[in-house]
Amino acid sequence: MVNTKVTLCGLELDNPVIPASGTFGFGYEFAELYDINCLGTFSFKGTTAEPRFGNPTPRIAEFSGGLLNAVGLQNPGVDAVIAEELPKLAKCFHKPVMANISGFSLEEYVSVAEKLNACEQVGWLEVNISCPNVHGGGMSFGTDPAAAAMVTKAVKAVTTKPVIVKLSPNVTDIVAIAKACEDAGADAVSLINTVMGMRIDLKKKKPIIANRTGGMSGPALLPLAVRMVYQVYDAVKIPIVGLGGVSTAEDVVELMLAGATAVEVGAANLVEPYACRNIVEDLPRVMEKYGIKNLSDIIGGAH
């Protein structure tokens, strides 16, 4: 018998498979298709202080290695999430859930974190620092070590939950950002978020996405994610949640060997709604194939 259990920031997961924020809604939609309690946990839709309609359409463009999206953090706002979404989720998911939070100012991150900290269902706060800082010239919080540290410290001050900072790959040195978050008190980091890209419609001779650019996700990102997780693992002592291009159980094992404690699955859920369930079911076979008895033993094993 193989053991798929891992421990993320003190909370045990039955397996390391976590649907990524923005690709799994608030979970109950997928619960109509299969029992989502088979998952380690999942990261729910990025939540902001106020409701957001998101970006204009079209928001999605495909390419051979995945897809681009510019949804724009569409969500009902933190108060509606707590009042409506979490009670619905509680009926079908009986494990701690990961709350993904976003903000366009330091105050917004703090406000959302404070409110979700009071929710018993929430096990971890995943802090998306890829948002533009409206008070800092529009530059993403995640592109500057000082700004990343500032958000980390502010959120840590208002929560008792483990704080996982989600890093952007659209930087020169992701290791410096990860170190800054660790030094500021982050309990873990998750990487990578999407890479900025663009597609152009040849007939219209204009960008396909109304927003012009969008976040690249899908299988093409896996080697970039493996490289960045590997580099960050060498630099920090806190756990890493690896993501980017994961679509198979083999991909999960590869990211764990690079240094990930748990692994998020994003775009694959949009292409195949059963992707995460299939990965969970296939993990024991892959572990046996490669002689792995305990998944937790292979974390960072490629170093």
Give the model confidence (pLDDT) of 89-101 as tens digits. 999 999 999 999 9
Three-state SS annotation for 147-174: HHHHHHHHHHCCCCCCEEEECCCCCCCH
Is pLDDT above 70 for 166? Answer: yes
| 166 touches 127 (CB < 8 A) | yes
Is pLDDT above 70 for 138? Answer: no
pLDDT at 143: 93
CATH architecture of 6-298: Alpha-Beta Barrel (3.20)
| 174 touches 232 (CB < 8 A) | yes
Q: Among this protein's residues, is 131 annotated catalytic? A: yes
Per-residue pLDDT tens digits for 220-244:
999 999 999 999 999 999 999 999 9
pLDDT (average), residues 103-130: 97
Q: With 0.85 as the threshold, say if the pTM is over it.
A: yes
Is pLDDT above 80 for 265? Answer: yes
Name the active-site residue from 38, 119, 131, 276: 131
Instruction: Give every strand in the sheet of 60-63, ordered side by side.
Output: 60-63, 66-69, 214-217, 195-197
| 257 touches 297 (CB < 8 A) | no
pLDDT category at 136 given cuts 50, 70, 90 is confident
| 31 touches 186 (CB < 8 A) | no
- Residue identified by tokens 């933190």 is 78
Is pLDDT above 70 for 207? Answer: yes
